[in-house]
């Protein structure tokens, strides 16, 4: 999407991985800031290069727009965080959940036509963005509590997606579930702009994975899989698998 050149890809991935490692290790703010500024600088130089020599990537498509260089850097960072980490985490956590529920995995493999609703259930069940933050534009009373205009509210999407009033047996993974209305992509005007792209990616990836590796299995016990929960997006540090 960003059009990082082949020569720069190793450096780019190294910078992204370094930032992720510092977050995992809960590094001092100074180190995190320096790593983030290095990434900003790299993307800034790439923006200037695209203006001189555009390619067929998304970033090049924006060089003739009214966006400033700073806005293009921020768009690139948004694509990187919201377009890469979220999908990668959904794939990893979804695969982990399927391997922990072999009956559901078998059902998806044997009935590919259920892929669309299976992906919706995986999105509901995993909810890799467990909370969102919103500000009230006017006074709202919710369940006997007054939220005043201007109040900042933390919305627990993961909890809402396990609401027994909305979903039958919400803590169970059921790929044949018919209830819709999960909040994995948010709600209202602030819903994820790329949610349909994410759905298509997941609908392609999971069946392909199961077809290519029919004997896929976990190497470690589920409780030993390292969970990543120290940044905004829930995920896994790694998922070791094997196959015959």
- pLDDT one-digit tens code per residue, 80-94: 777 777 888 999 999
52 occurs within a structural domain: no
Structural domain boundaries enclosing 130: 67-242
30 occurs within a structural domain: no
Report, as an integer, the average pLDDT of 204-217. 95
53 occurs within a structural domain: no
143 occurs within a structural domain: yes
- Tell me how many domains the chain contains: 1
- pLDDT one-digit tens code per residue, 74-125: 888 888 777 777 888 999 999 999 999 999 999 999 999 999 999 999 999 9
59 occurs within a structural domain: no
237 occurs within a structural domain: yes
pTM of the full structure: 0.81
54 occurs within a structural domain: no
CATH at 189: 1.10.630.10
82 occurs within a structural domain: yes
* CB-based contact 76:43 (threshold 8 Å): yes
């Amino acid at each position: 999407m960003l059009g990082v050149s082949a020569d720069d890809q190793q450096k780019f991935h190294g910078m992204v991985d370094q930032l992720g490692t510092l977050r995992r290790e809960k590094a001092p703010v100074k180190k995190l800031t320096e790593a983030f500024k290095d990434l900003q600088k790299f993307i800034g130089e790439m923006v200037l290069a695209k203006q001189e020599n555009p390619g067929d990537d998304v970033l090049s498509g924006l060089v003739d727009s009214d966006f400033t260089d700073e806005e293009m850097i921020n768009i690139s960072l948004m694509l990187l965080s919201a377009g890469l980490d979220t999908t990668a985490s959904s794939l990893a956590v979804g695969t982990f959940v399927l391997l922990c529920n072999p009956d559901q995995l078998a059902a998806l493999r044997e009935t590919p036509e259920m892929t669309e609703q299976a992906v919706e259930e995986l999105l509901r069940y995993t909810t890799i963005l467990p909370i969102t933050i919103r500000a009230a534009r006017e006074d709202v009373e919710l369940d006997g509590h007054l939220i005043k205009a201007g109040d900042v509210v933390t919305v627990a999407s993961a909890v809402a997606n396990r609401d027994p009033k909305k979903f039958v047996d919400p803590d169970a993974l059921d790929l044949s579930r018919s209830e819709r209305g999960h909040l994995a992509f948010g709600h209202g005007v602030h819903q994820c702009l790329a949610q349909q792209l994410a759905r298509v990616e997941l609908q392609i990836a999971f069946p392909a994975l199961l077809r290519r590796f029919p004997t896929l299995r976990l190497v470690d016990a589920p409780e030993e899989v390292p969970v990543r929960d120290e940044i905004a997006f829930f995920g896994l540090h790694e998922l070791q698998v094997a196959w015959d």
